[in-house]
Structure 1
Amino acid sequence: MTDDLSRAQRDHWQSTYQRNPHMYGYEPSEPAKQVADAFPTGGTVLELGAGHGRDSLHFAQRGFSVHAMDFSPDGLAQLRDRAEQDGLIDRITTTVHDVRTPIPLPDSSVDAVFAHMLLCMALSTEEIHALVAEVRRVLRPGGTFAYTVRHTGDAHYDAGIAHGDDIYEHGGFAVHFFDRTLVNSLAQQWTPPEVHAFEEGGLPRRLWRITQTKPR
């Protein structure tokens, strides 16, 4: 993936949040509701690609301490405003962060990591591997990593503007579509991944919810 595409995607998301505040609403995603039960009660959750925070807010409501990261300052500002309104601001920390760079947290410092459709953004395979290595670094032994991605069975796969490396662009948004080979390669040095297929949205988008654990 080129730096130009990366910049274009960052600008596209930032302008999208500016034009459409709270664009996804504040009902949590189905994957967030499902994985919350697998996370340790009262633990610390890192959400990558938190956007305006519907899932981070859900984790905070469930009693978790949440560290929300996203590369959109506007999205995170909307998250903080809602957290203040809901009386959850003391459970949520936000950081503007580009996942192509190291996660700014110490080793073994969080109990769980959640990323809803973040890994299937406009990231190269090499960048995705580097990110998962960072997730493993910041997770405590026995910690859970749950993420969702669009896969190669999706209707938009192999259509639109091709950028190589299974990345295709539709309507200004670029997506890296996953196959099982990539999923399995990202689970090396983890427990075997649990993969659950689901659909979301009106197309519908076809996704996998993947859960894997850092060995103790």
Structure 2
Amino acid sequence: MTHTPGTPPGREPALADTQRAHWQRTHTANPGMYGEHPSAPARYAAEVFAAAGAREVLELGAGHGRDALHFARAGFHVLATDFSPTGLQQLRTAAADQGLADRLAVTAHDARDPLPLPDASVDAVFAHMLLCMALSTREIEALVAEVRRVLRPGGAFVYTVRHTGDAHCGAGTGHGDDVWEHGGFAVHFFSRELVDALAAGWHLTDVHPFDEGELPRRLWRITQETPR
């Protein structure tokens, strides 16, 4: 059995690694590419987390950190992860400039790997469009299992994904498993069946449709909690 050089055995090969390099180049060429203001899902998530009494928040796929900085300003202790060292360095610099370094830590992490945290160690997890990157269904299932592992009982998980009603679903280059590449970016478009399957064993409290960007992109904002 062979695998892509540089890719650990057992990991889905090629496409996600190519996308990782693409995102690294994108972050390098476009510092602060999403602006300084937090996303609407992050503002919503901060309210959900505060109402639940959360203190420690893990953000997956933080990029250059506009949402992680929002959580830190809201009073949470934040661990921000991303696979782009460039994005994380931009986040470190911004946190220091804003006096938030004591509330925000960053670590490089590939979403296909186990989370570098102990069991039941955080109160809340947030991921804006990370789960719909170039990940296979099997890798997404493994990531959600990791999220559940690190969440404390009653912990909240808020994530957003582009779904199969999006205009780019079925357009561009198809890679199978509902993954389509358009303009150099590959997206795993979520069906409602996949959302429900990922929520098995959780309390699924909300699946909220919304639009973002000029296309517009069609997304769901999903909120689910671990049992107490």
Given candidates 63, 68, 83, the residue that maps to 1:51 is 63
Which residue of structure 2 aligns with residue 134 of structure 1? 146
Give the residue type in structure 1 aligned to 2:122. Answer: V
Which residue of structure 2 aligns with residue 72 of structure 1? 84
Question: Is the Cα–Cα contact under 8 Å of residues 42 and 63 in structure 1 kept in the other structure?
Answer: no
Q: How does 1:104-183 map to 2 (within 5 A)?
A: 104-183=116-195
Question: Is the Cα–Cα contact under 8 Å of residues 12 and 136 in structure 2 kept in the other structure?
Answer: no
Question: Is the Cα–Cα contact under 8 Å of residues 167 and 217 in structure 2 kept in the other structure?
Answer: yes
Cα offset, 1:4, TM superposition:
1.6
State the Cα deviation string for residues 60-81 of structure 1 (Å, max 9, x = none): 0000000000000000000000
Which residue of structure 2 aligns with residue 31 of structure 1? 41
Cα offset, 1:193, TM superposition:
4.0
TM-score, scaled to structure 1 = 0.98
The share of aligned pairs that are identical, in percent, is 66
Return the alpha-carbon distance in structure 1 between the equivalents of residues 100 and 128 of structure 2. Answer: 21
- How many residues align structurally? 216
Question: Is the Cα–Cα contact under 8 Å of residues 72 and 104 in structure 2 kept in the other structure?
Answer: yes
Return the alpha-carbon distance in structure 1 between the equivalents of residues 215 and 87 of structure 2. Answer: 25
SS in 2 for 1:192: strand
1:8 correspondence with 2:8:
no
TM-score, scaled to structure 2 = 0.93
State the Cα deviation string for residues 30-81 of structure 1 (Å, max 9, x = none): 0000111110446100000000000000000000000000000000000000
Give the residue type in structure 1 aligned to 2:63. Answer: G
Give the residue type in structure 2 aligned to 1:72. Answer: S
Return the alpha-carbon distance in structure 2 between the equivalents of residues 42 and 101 of structure 1. Answer: 25
Cα offset, 1:192, TM superposition:
2.5
Return the alpha-carbon distance in structure 2 between the equivalents of residues 35 and 13 of structure 1. Answer: 25
State the Cα deviation string for residues 85-115 of structure 1 (Å, max 9, x = none): 1000110010000010100000000000000
Question: Is the Cα–Cα contact under 8 Å of residues 63 and 84 in structure 2 kept in the other structure?
Answer: yes
1:17 correspondence with 2:27:
yes
Q: CA RMSD in A?
A: 1.0
State the Cα deviation string for residues 14-34 of structure 1 (Å, max 9, x = none): 000000001001100000001
C-alpha change, 1:153 and 1:42, in structure 2 (3 Å) is closer
Question: Is the Cα–Cα contact under 8 Å of residues 54 and 124 in structure 2 kept in the other structure?
Answer: no
SS in 1 for 2:102: helix
Return the alpha-carbon distance in structure 2 between the equivalents of residues 131 and 42 of structure 1. Answer: 21
Return the alpha-carbon distance in structure 1 between the equivalents of residues 144 and 92 of structure 2. Answer: 26
Structure 2 unmatched ranges of 5 or more = 1-10
Question: Is the Cα–Cα contact under 8 Å of residues 184 and 193 in structure 1 kept in the other structure?
Answer: no
Structure 1 unmatched ranges of 5 or more = none
Return the alpha-carbon distance in structure 1 between the equivalents of residues 45 and 17 of structure 2. Answer: 31
